[in-house]
Amino acid sequence: MKVQENQQVTCMLPFHQVVKSEFEEVNHLIVNRLDSEIELIENIGQYIIDGGGKRLRPLLVLLSANSCGYKGTEHIVLAAIIEFIHTATLLHDDVVDTSELRRGQATANTKYGNAPSVLVGDFLYSRAFQMLVDVGNIGIMKIIAASTNIISEGEVQQLINARNPDISETEYKKVIFKKTAILFEAAAEIGALIAKSTPKQQAASSDYGRHIGMAFQLMDDVLDYDGDVKDLGKNIGDDFAEGKTTLPLIYAMKNGTKKQSLMIQEAIKNATFDKLDAIFDVIKITRALDYTKSCAHTHALKAIQCIKNLPDTKEKRAMIEIAKFSVERSF
């Protein structure tokens, strides 16, 4: 069986159009490199492709490379590598979190089971590193290897933190850097590196990616309590159900009354949902979502500031639009 390409499922936004032909090449490569003689791998691969997604991480590779003047084709391969790594983390995440809905459809673990999802995630990791060896850039290998290690640490730390209401804002932000922001950072950094840009440009691209990733995750925290299932493609309140003490809850506990804080703490520790509406009210009263949004906006502004000295190109302008989108989106 051959995995089939479906160009309609990826969410194409204006900043995708800036590198449309290259982005389509990335999608085509993803399909080709999912090819396997094991039918189950291809079935789950096809299911993932049909699930679509924004594919911002591979997009950052393309934009970062082009904004630094890259004229080759290896950024296409690097973008696909980043997407494989990201998809592998999603497959593993959904098993650990027992998630049932992603991108508007049943998760792979819901449809195929936990073991196949984990193993196909492993396949995607290994395929990514096969492709990375083919590129043969030791600097990029070091960045990707370090990033995947940090992601794994973040996953374990999040598991340890589950059902713990005593997580501080600083501790939480360390986790989301490791789980989410690090791959955005790596994507932007390797784009600049393959372009053989200056150390300052590489550092600027890396910092930009990190702030985009932080903004993106913080807005995910907001949307988990204030989003729309149809727009978001996953259930509202999933983070709470999974025992994740995210920033809105941390802020609400810190700024609510003692009674309100104790109610949230007990609900987190005991996985009780009978007071979920009351908890949503506390989040609203304490303006916890506004605070979380303000943190996301701060990171988005920092991201834009990071690339101010890059050449004024259409790719740089697209990177600025991504920063704005990260905090204005509803999905």
Q: Which residue intervals of the chain are DSSP H helices?
A: 14-17, 20-33, 39-50, 56-67, 74-96, 108-112, 114-135, 138-161, 169-176, 182-194, 199-226, 229-232, 238-241, 247-255, 258-270, 276-285, 288-306, 314-328
User: With pLDDT > 70 as the criterion, what percentage of the chain qualifies?
Assistant: 94
Residue 50 or residue 281, greater confidence: 281
| Contact of 218 with 292, CB cutoff 8 Å | yes
What does the pLDDT read at residue 50?
Answer: 77
Question: Is 9 part of a structural domain of the chain?
Answer: no
User: Which CATH number fits the domain that encloses residue 278?
Assistant: 1.10.600.10
Question: Is 331 part of a structural domain of the chain?
Answer: no
What does the pLDDT read at residue 265?
Answer: 96
Question: Is 2 part of a structural domain of the chain?
Answer: no
Residues 82-138 pLDDT 10s: 999 999 999 999 999 888 888 778 999 999 999 999 999 999 999 999 999 999 999
Number of domains within the chain: 1
DSSP 10-22: B---HHHHTTHHH
3-state DSSP assignment of residue 90 = helix
Examine the pLDDT at 256 and tell me if it is beyond 70. yes
Question: Is 126 part of a structural domain of the chain?
Answer: yes
* pTM: predicted TM-score of the whole model, two decimal places: 0.93
Question: Is 330 part of a structural domain of the chain?
Answer: no
pLDDT band at 12 (very low <50, low <70, confident <90, very high): confident
Question: Is 69 part of a structural domain of the chain?
Answer: yes
Residues 269-282 pLDDT 10s: 988 888 889 999 99
User: With pLDDT > 90 as the criterion, what percentage of the chain qualifies?
Assistant: 82
Query: What residues pair up with 53 in beta bridges, in sequence order?
Result: 10
Question: Is 8 part of a structural domain of the chain?
Answer: no
Average pLDDT over residues 176-201: 98
Mean pLDDT of the chain: 93
Measured torsion, CA atoms of residues 294, 272, 178, 152, in degrees rounded to the nearest 10: -160
Question: Is 38 part of a structural domain of the chain?
Answer: yes
**Domain assignment of residue 91, given as a range:** 14-325
